[in-house]
Amino acid sequence: MEDALNKQVNREYYSAYLYLAMSAYFETVNMKGFAKWMRVQSNEEQAHAMKFFDYIIARGGKVTLGDIEAAKNKWTSAGKVFEEVYAHEQKVTGMIHNLVELAGKEKDHATFEMLQWFVKEQVEEEANASDILAQIKLVGDVPGHLFYLDHHLGKRA
């Protein structure tokens, strides 16, 4: 279980890295609101990583920090980015569910309980990504509308 939780620390940091790369992409195409949203999302992923980190320590475990996979840094549109965010979050949901199953199998009730926060969080993460993807598809290629969406996303604190 400890090993699996350490792997998840790494995966959450990879998520932070991926979203930071997406933030950098949006900066290059002057979509400041999207860039801000991604930066906030990246910070949220670091908070997820630290939640696992703190839990491992609280349980008297050993934290092991491995290499973080390099993030991709090329995209062609906001739509493509959010398709990837949505797919990525679905993948993360699968990882969280695998951890829940492992905790159940090992009768690790405390970890099982801790993971429930992440189960709920993933519902929100997937919903956010698919909502924004749907909004991008709705506004299509109309620059004025995409500008409005950029302004709206930039309000994320």
Question: What is each CA distance from 133 to 18, 85, 155, in whole angstroms?
Answer: 17, 9, 17
Return the residue of 6, 15, 23, 111 that touches ligand FEO, per CB under 6 A: 15
Determine which residue in the list 125, 136, 150, 153 makes contact with ligand FEO, applying CB under 6 A.
125
CA 51 to CA 117: how far, in whole Å?
10
CB of 9 to ligand FEO, least distance (A): 11
Among residues 12 and 108, whose Cβ is nearest to ligand FEO? Answer: 12
Pick one of 45, 52, 56, 111: the residue that binds ligand FEO (CB under 6 A): 45
State the Cα–Cα distance between residues 33 and 39, nearest whole angstrom. 10
The one among 5, 6, 9, 12 contacting ligand FEO by CB under 6 A: 12
Phi-psi category of residue 140: left, alpha or beta, with phi > 0 → left and psi -120 to 50 → alpha: left
Least CB distance to ligand FEO at residue 92 (A): 5
Cα–Cα separations (whole angstroms), residue 145 to 28, 35, 104, 139, 150: 19, 17, 47, 6, 9
Residues that bind ligand FEO (CB under 6 A): 12, 15, 45, 48, 89, 92, 125
